[in-house]
Chain A
Amino acid sequence: MPLLIKNARIVNADKINDQDRDILLDKGKIIKIAPSIKADNVKSVNASGKLVMPGLIDIHVHFRQPGREDKETIETGSKAAAKGGFTTVMCMPNTNPVIDNGMIVEAILEEARRVGLVNVIPIGAITKGQKDQELVDMFELKQAGCLALSDDGKSVVNSQLMRMALQYSKMVGILLIEHCQDPLLTSGGVMNEGNSSTLLGLKADPGISETVIVARDIELARYLDTQVHLAHMSLRRSVELIRFAKSQGIKVTAEACPHHFTLTDDDVKSFDTNTKVNPPLRTRDDVQAIKEGIKDGTIDCIVTDHAPHTREDKEADFDHAPFGMIGLETSVGLTVTELVDKKILSWPEMVEKMSAAPARIVGLENKGVIKEGADADITIIDPQKEWEVKKEDFVSKSKNSPFIGRKFKGYVEVTIYKGKIVYDG
């Protein structure tokens, strides 16, 4: 049945409409946008007072299937995505087995279609088994449906291999996403190296473990004249390196996570293992720089790095607890509260960071925009509604969020995927 959104205040990346419109969706597409649409036999949604955006896109999540279905599955992850306002998510390949061949990609796509809540696109590995030794068959992964490859969870440490990966991927036409971290410099660190780690006595990861790989990959992209996308940037210095690279015309894009523009390494002092994340929470100055980078375009997009872990796993001591926090259900709240409400981003800029830019970076056509003929993926947000993060409200299978108890502004009211309501808050 067609869906009619009434009184929509449409926000695209280029502007926010000054008048409300009606939007008619049918057969997965946006059919018509007009001041007032009369139609019979349609389901209708009244968006009066709300903001209507192109469906949000998160190009960095972990759904743990196959391998750790006790943490998250494609089904529970899709539910969390829909609740968080996301209509497309790209899931990282550090599953067991690793997503490094066409058959696994197809199996994930098949399960995602069966669930049918959101568009789930697997990201393939760059190296077989993420072992940093041999390249995956990139053409096969692309044909199977991957838009990007990454060894996320770790870097491609071998620089010669990364060079070949970039050179080859340019021919294939598939994006490489780099997790920037030199493991020898990290050396078992579990939090940021700085004043806080000195006080807490935890093994520390110096920021240079990130920036040396950022700098290396910028140089590789320059030399090979190809694109590279840098995952979850966390440091002022990374932002500066990327800003410089962009000023030179080097084809580098970058993403940042909400926790890296809100929390600092001082938040680790509770020893709450939900603050253990990779890259680690950094300093107040880094948080400030990430915000500046998001504002001036150095950071192209916001991703969650949604990393579910069971209570059992997170109940370990800080050294042994796994890295990561969930993020899909708190991303809009954090972005609105920390960036939009504080005038760092306008509403259209938020749409740019959370929908239009990620669509463009990975090459998703017909997404990231509300216009006639585009895909009928839409997120409706109540910009004023305040809400509290509650553990029992998470639909993700895991609850490992350090934001439980925090109050946010900006609430996902309705998520529409392929013209159908997949979440109604």
Chain B
Amino acid sequence: MSGWSRKDLLDLQTLSQQEIDLILETAKSFKEVSTREVKKVPALRGKTVVSLFIENSTRTRASFELAAKRLSADIINISAGGSSISKGETVLDTARNIEAMNVDAIIVRHSSAGVPNQLAQNLKASIINAGDGCREHPTQALLDMFTIKEKLGKIEGLRVAIIGDILHSRVARSNIWGLTKLGARVTVCGPSTLMPVGIEKMGVQTTSDLGHVIKESDVLMVLRIQLERQRDNFLPSLREYAKQFGINKEKLNQAKKNVLIMHPGPTNRGLELSADVADGEYSVILDQVTNGVAIRMAVLYLLLASA
């Protein structure tokens, strides 16, 4: 596979449209692997991957782990609780120690933005960002774009709304970069207190009018609302949030006929998304999870197979 030259996958901000397309194309061919009786190809046999998660995750970690295993790479997982990070070692030091064991790639998730970049600047191993602070979560956005393309056949020209806590969302930022590069028209919708300063400079429209957004959009990408946002005074109450910004069947009556409902998970059912919508006909939430494995196989393959 040609056209890939990067050591790391840190963000979508710096990827070109061609690079994003290449990942999506590569994922297409890997998706089939997971449907086989024997879900394994030897593409990365002999490669070693470590996932270093200094922040909780279930699905992203499992998804990366399955992706690595289906490519025949060896993978081990290190999480915050069991690591020396809790003993005062810096994440860079931990990563240096991991690299010293001759690993080919480190998948990192960290609560502080920029950690993947710091590791990439200091290590020879490939670094894959699995979410850094509120900055980026590139594989999530890639799997979202893959799912949209799969379901609607294209991305260019679509109207995509990202709804919820934009301020704290790395999923929103990565999707904004990726979707706008592929020609979608992106609107971010949420409470004014959860809207970051200058977000429109990223090339998106902003609104707090959910009804309008539901009517106009081809894709509704619903974000998880963190329960502690109420405590930090971002919201008067979760009750009001659910009423004003939550999506339920009734509100969806105004939506386009083939609208896609997406969510990066885990969902607070009944809060940002009612259960009947989450499980309903427009929801592609489980397709997103399925496609996540394919995207992560593609990313691992592109970073490691040629190296």
Contacts and interface: CB of A to CB of B under 8 A. Distances in A.
B134 A317 contact: no
A201 B113 contact: yes
A193 B197 contact: yes
A60 to B, nearest CB: 28
B48 to A, nearest CB: 24
A168 interface: no
Contacts of B61: none
A: contact size bracket: 20 to 34
B92 interface: yes
B132 A201 contact: yes
Given A198-B198, A271-B118, A317 B112 contact: yes
Interface in A179-201: 187, 193-195, 197-201
A198 B196 contact: yes
Contacts of A39: none
B90 A316 contact: yes
A318 interface: yes
A199 B133 contact: no
Nearest to B199: A198
Name the residue among A200, A201, A320 with the largest chain B CB count within 10 angstroms.
Answer: A201
B197 A319 contact: no
A320 B112 CA distance: 8
Interface string B109-148: 0111111011000000000000011111000000000000
Contacts of A198: 196-199, 201-202
Contacts, number: 70
A200 B93 CA distance: 23
B91 interface: yes
B13 interface: yes
B170 A201 contact: yes
A126 B117 CA distance: 40
A315 interface: yes
Contacts of A271: 113-114, 117-118
B69 interface: no
A107 B118 CA distance: 41
A6 B182 CA distance: 70
Given A315-B92, A318-B112, A202 B135 contact: yes
A194 B135 CA distance: 14
A202 B133 contact: yes
Contacts of A315: 90, 92-93
B136 A201 contact: yes
A319 B93 contact: no
B224 interface: no
Contacts of B185: none
B173 interface: yes
B197 A200 contact: no
A270 B118 CA distance: 8
Interface in A43-77: none
Contact of A199 (B90, B132, B202): B202
Contacts of A204: 197
Contacts of A197: 196-197
Interface in A201-238: 201-204
Nearest to A194: B197
B197 A318 contact: no
Contacts of B170: 201
B110 A201 contact: no
A393 interface: no
Name the residue among A194, A317, A320 with the largest chain B CB count within 10 angstroms.
Answer: A317
Name the residue among B13, B92, B118 with the largest chain A CB count within 10 angstroms.
Answer: B118
Given A315-B90, A315-B92, A316-B90, A200 B196 contact: no
A379 B67 CA distance: 64
A144 to B, nearest CB: 37
A65 to B, nearest CB: 23
Nearest to A314: B90
Contacts of B199: 198
Interface in B188-244: 196-199, 201-202, 232
A202 B90 contact: no
Contacts of B113: 200-202, 271, 318-319
Contacts of B112: 202, 317-320
Contacts of B173: 199, 201
B52 to A, nearest CB: 12
A201 B91 contact: no
B83 to A, nearest CB: 14
A260 B227 CA distance: 37
B94 to A, nearest CB: 11
B92 to A, nearest CB: 5
Given A200-B135, A317-B110, A319-B133, 6 more contacts: A195-B197, A199-B173, A201-B135, A202-B114, A318-B114, A318-B115
Ranked 4 nearest A-B pairs via Cβ: A201-B135, A271-B114, A201-B134, A319-B112
14 contacts: A195-B201, A199-B202, A202-B113, A202-B134, A271-B117, A271-B118, A315-B93, A317-B110, A317-B114, A317-B115, A318-B115, A319-B112, A319-B113, A319-B133
Interface of B: 13, 90-93, 110-115, 117-118, 132-136, 170, 173, 196-199, 201-202, 232
